[in-house]
Amino acid sequence: MLDPDVRRVLDGTSIAHLATVLPDGSPHSTPVYVGTQGDRIIFFTGPGMRKARNLRRDPRLALSIAPVDISVRARRRPGPGRRLDRGRRRLGDH
């Protein structure tokens, strides 16, 4: 059974970020509209979309939900992560 607070967020006009696995093993994250159907979380996509193809091949996913009452602009930048703290000041250092 879905937690009532989670259901409220899902049944609002929330945007979620769906992460799937690309064929080369790297992550693919994209914004999706989400909702509920009974006690299931659903999201909307077309059958030919990259995320749908990824999920048919490998069903692993992560879903991050952004409630509608939080103002966030979506940005996407694929690529590997890298450390930024070597030889540089860290955030919060003065």
Q: Is 4 helix (H, G, I), strand (E, B) or coil?
A: helix
4-66 folds as: Pnp Oxidase; Chain A (2.30.110)
Nearest to 34 by CA among 62, 56, 54: 62
**1-33 pLDDT per residue, tens:** 888 888 888 888 778 899 999 999 999 999 998
> Cα 39–50–17 angle (5° rounding)?
50
pLDDT at 45: 86
d(CA 10, CA 62): 15
pLDDT at 76: 54
The model's pTM is 0.66
pLDDT at 44: 83
d(CA 47, CA 38): 22
Tell me the domain boundaries of the chain: 4-66
For 76, counting Cβ atoms within 10 Å of its Cβ (0-12 exposed, 13-18 middle, 19+ buried), the class is exposed
Q: Is 93 helix (H, G, I), strand (E, B) or coil?
A: coil
